[in-house]
Copies of this chain bind each other. A is one copy, B any other.
């Protein structure tokens, strides 16, 4: 429980002191930056960041106001909205990435042996799958 309490807060504050992004904001931008055309449909982006569509929508609205993302209606499906990373958003990601990498390295990687780090991945995966099972069929 201490881990769940402290680690998100720590990830956030290390990032926010230096840049002005939430850790979640960063993940949204980073995911877009890696996508083809720097574009992802909202649903796809929500899945990759494990966020609700509602939460994502609010956050994208904010990031859009800051000029890092734009929205456009999908050509194939008029219900769908694509989030597109702007040039300015791309530059933001590039500028922020080193800080993010270092905070993760400091907080997690350096604290563990390589084997423990691997184990953590396996364990987290199992728990996450468990949660997804349970929330899929209530």
A107-B134 contact in complex given A4-B4, A4-B8, A5-B50, C-beta closer than 8 Å: yes
A12 to B124, CA, bound (A): 18
Task: Confirm or deny: A120 has a beta carbon within 8 angstroms of a beta carbon on chain B.
Answer: yes
Q: How far is the CB of A104 from chain B (nearest CB, A)?
A: 9
Copies of this chain present in the complex amount to 2
Which of A37-45, A68-76, A81-89, A110-118 lines the interface with chain B? A110-118
* Pair B126/A107 contact, Cβ less than 8 Å: no
Residue among B106, B111, B116 making CB contact with A119, cutoff 8 Å: B116
A129 to B7, CA, bound (A): 11
Q: How many residues of A contact B (CB 8 A)?
A: 35
A112 to B130, CA, bound (A): 10
Interface mask (A76-103 → B, CB under 8 Å = 1, otherwise 0): 0000000000000000000000000000
CB-CB nearest in chain B for A24: B5
Report 26 cross-chain contacts, Cβ distance below 8 Å, ordered by A residue: A2-B128, A3-B124, A3-B127, A3-B128, A5-B49, A5-B50, A6-B128, A6-B132, A7-B131, A8-B8, A10-B131, A10-B135, A106-B130, A107-B127, A108-B127, A108-B130, A110-B130, A111-B126, A111-B127, A112-B123, A112-B127, A116-B119, A116-B123, A116-B126, A120-B120, A120-B123
A residues with CB within 8 A of B: 1-8, 10-11, 27, 49-51, 106-108, 110-112, 116, 119-120, 122-124, 126-132, 134-135
